[in-house]
Amino acid sequence: MSDIVKEPSMLLQKEMIARNYEAITSKHETGRKVSSTFVPGNLNELLLCFDIVNNLPEINAIQNGMRKLSGNYIMDAEKSGHSEDVCTYVKADIGMMGAGNIAPNGKPFPKPDVLLLSYTGCYTFMKWFELLREEYKCPTLMLHVPYEGDGHSTKNMRDYIVKQLKEVIIPGLEQVSGIKFDIDRLREALRNSAKAEDNLVWVLESGKNKPSPIDAYFGGVYYIGPIFTAFRGTPDAIAYYDALRTEVQARIDTRQGPITPDGSNFNDQRYRLVVEGPPNWTHFREFWKMFSDEGAVVVASSYTKVGGMYDLGFRHNADNPLETLADYCLGCYTNRNLPTRVDILAKYIEEYEADGLLINSIKSCNSFSAGQLMMMNEVERRTGKPGAFIETDLVDPRYFSAANVKNRLESYFQMIEQKRLGSAKAA
């Protein structure tokens, strides 16, 4: 099967991610310290203050899924005692460690100097880091982020996080790196973040155009790469999102859709969808092509908000550096309760003039999958638009049934057509 044809910004993103892997795996030559941390609530601006390179285990699992390596890693982890129900990101990571811990650039991952866990709505992250701490025997710093169970954060929640930053996280990073914390350096990184965030939001909201110049799910996972990983807070992120915005604006000007996996512009957009849940990575091209072949474009998605809800107005604020880090962690998508997630999805249906909500329920991801059927029913009730449910997994190829997914998608598109006919007759 041929590779996905990529937009210029996707190629630039790929180069940036490769550069970060080179920085991680050359640790022993450069002397830089390496942290392991997670995407939701990651404190990249703070790590930059200490010259610490950011390694993200979820991204490593995704890379292995797309490179068709995760299946064997997962089975190796299960043979060593990990349950079939455990998050497959975790098992792919554990299996990779047992197989030599080789990075995508072919070089071995070094042991991290610190595990930094900013816990935002996913209990699995905490258990994952317990396994990594047992393996690497390195310092572990945990930032506990209160869950927004009532649908909003409070001053006490924010103050609690800031207190941990001051008393635990910053002193811990100073000790690991040997570098004294400089709040002005943090402010500079936060200003860089806000500039990049402005352009990311502009790009994601361009899905309101008809035709949409982006696919906010399959293309969106490339667009969020730099800002959700090791580049938020850097001039490189500003440059990337400037280039991405220029690229998308050119498509708007010429009324062009995004590039499909086959390399053609996707202009015949028959269905506009909002998608909830992460994609399947082991069959990413095939999954994407099932949508584009049917004329379905994703105009908004929840997964592209897992590392920050910038489209709801949040920006990193250099005037309140520690408080803004707390607000960022509190506001991540997986730290919001189910009624709030329903509000967000219903808002997307209306604002992006979508035909309906499609949920990709992930077998091994309780953080996303819990409550999704209720969410779909409630969004249908509020918007009057049909919803549908498909099931895959993150990086376990055993749980991607192409025939089953294709059949469900075709049935869903027929449901949308019937809904349109009914609306036309009523008018």
**Measured torsion, CA atoms of residues 388, 291, 301, 41, in degrees rounded to the nearest 10:** 110
Residue 233's closest CA among 198, 194, 192? Answer: 192
Q: Which amino acid is at 299?
A: V
**pLDDT bucket at 413, cuts 50 / 70 / 90:** very high
> Cα separation of 120 and 353, whole Å?
30
Q: What is the pLDDT of residues 178-195, one digit of tens each?
A: 999 999 999 999 999 999
CB hemisphere CA count around 270 (13 angstroms): 12
> Cα separation of 404 and 398, whole Å?
13
Q: Is the pLDDT of residue 427 over 70?
A: no
Q: Is the pLDDT of residue 176 over 80?
A: yes
Please tell us whether the domain made up of 8-182 is placed in CATH 3.40.50.11890. Answer: yes
Give me the long-range contacts of 77-81 (CB less than 8 A, separation at least 24).
none
Q: Is the pLDDT of residue 32 over 80?
A: yes
Residue 52's closest CA among 73, 33, 30? Answer: 33
Q: Is the pLDDT of residue 350 over 70?
A: yes
> Cα separation of 370 and 85, whole Å?
14
Q: Is the pLDDT of residue 4 over 80?
A: no
pLDDT attached to residue 304: 96
Q: Is the pLDDT of residue 1 over 60?
A: no
Residue % of the chain over a pLDDT of 70:
99
pLDDT attached to residue 5: 64
Q: What is the pLDDT of residues 227-237, one digit of tens each?
A: 999 999 999 99
Query: In the predicted model, what is the mean pLDDT of residues 112-129?
Result: 87
pLDDT attached to residue 230: 95
Cβ atoms of 23 and 3 closer than 8 Å? no
Q: Which amino acid is at 123?
A: Y
Q: Is the pLDDT of residue 44 over 80?
A: yes
Cβ atoms of 204 and 214 closer than 8 Å? yes
> How confident is the prediction for the chain on average, in pLDDT?
94
Q: What is the pLDDT of residues 90-111, one digit of tens each?
A: 999 999 999 999 999 999 999 9
Distances (CA, A) of 68 to 77, 155, 179: 16, 45, 40
Query: In the predicted model, what is the mean pLDDT of residues 268-285?
Result: 96
Rg (alpha carbons) of the chain, rounded to whole number: 21
Distances (CA, A) of 387 to 178, 213, 373: 53, 23, 10
